[in-house]
A and B are shown apart, each in its own frame.
Chain A
Amino acid sequence: MSAGKDFQHPLKRARGLGSAQSGVSHWWTQRVTAAALVFLSIWFVVIVLSLLHADYASARAVVAKPWNALLLVAFVLTVCWHAVLGLQIVIEDYVHTRWKEVALLVLVKFIAVLGTLATLMAVLRVALGA
């Protein structure tokens, strides 16, 4: 820091470098998705158990029910979101080569987004009978 020429207040400088006021959002979103998944994953286990002996037509009929289709999409979306947040922490903790870390973080996000969109399409195909 060169003294004399810099009229910027130290606080102004700190604001640019420090908290972007979003530090807690990762933590909070992880908790909110976790709370949602408490209910969604119990629902998912019950649905899977109900499909144990179902043939193709009846399995399709179960997933095609509006509530089930909605909750299935909600479940996969929330799982992927929660998994991205969780895997991000694991990768940041253990992968110490910067380019590998960034590549893995982006790869996980790509897979999660593609997986979510593909599930949405598949459930729509089942629900709308296409």
Chain B
Amino acid sequence: MADTQRPLSPHLGIYKWQVQMATSILHRGTGIALAVGTLLVLWGVFSLAQGEDSYNQFRICIGSPVGLVLMFGWTWALFYHLCNGIRHLVQDSGAGYAIPQFVRTSWLSIIVSILLTVIVWAYVLTSGGAA
């Protein structure tokens, strides 16, 4: 870090909370969480190759209370990163940068990701629960 007395940007203290901040921060946060969650996918595939015992052990672990909470969290993280990722791809084409649109699509990412998470877990619960 530069040793300087001049004011440094960004002046975090003067920003009021905005949804665009939340979507940006969440995109990074969910990205990191999903990278860690990929290890669970690897574990699942390995256990399937390993044999019946390790596969059943894997199922018991993800069906445990802690496992279910993690799975729920990763479901939302995946859908959020997916929805907001599509939003970023659209913005990469140059579209949607007007401030009202930017704010509206931020909310859209959040709401659609929650909706998709609810749909998936409603399916899980109505089809007889997990594990």
Contact = CB atoms under 8 A, between A and B. Distances in A.
B1 A96 contact: yes
A87 B56 contact: no
A52 B130 CA distance: 7
B120 A87 contact: no
Contacts of B45: 63, 72, 76, 119, 122-123, 126
B46 interface: yes
B128 interface: yes
Interface string B36-53: 001101100110110010
B28 A34 contact: no
Interface of A: 31, 34-35, 37-38, 41-42, 44-45, 49, 52-53, 56, 59-60, 63, 72, 76, 79-80, 83, 86-87, 90, 96, 115, 118-119, 121-123, 125-126
B48 A79 contact: no
A53 B128 contact: yes
Contact of A118 (B31, B42, B86): B42
Given A41-B82, A86-B35, A123-B45, 13 more contacts: A37-B82, A38-B86, A45-B78, A49-B124, A52-B128, A63-B45, A63-B48, A76-B38, A86-B31, A119-B41, A122-B46, A123-B49, A125-B49
B97 interface: no
Contacts of A119: 41-42, 45-46
Contacts of B41: 44, 76, 79, 119
Interface of B: 1, 28, 31-32, 34-35, 38-39, 41-42, 45-46, 48-49, 52, 55-56, 75, 78, 82, 85-86, 88-89, 92, 120, 123-124, 127-128, 130
B32 A41 contact: no
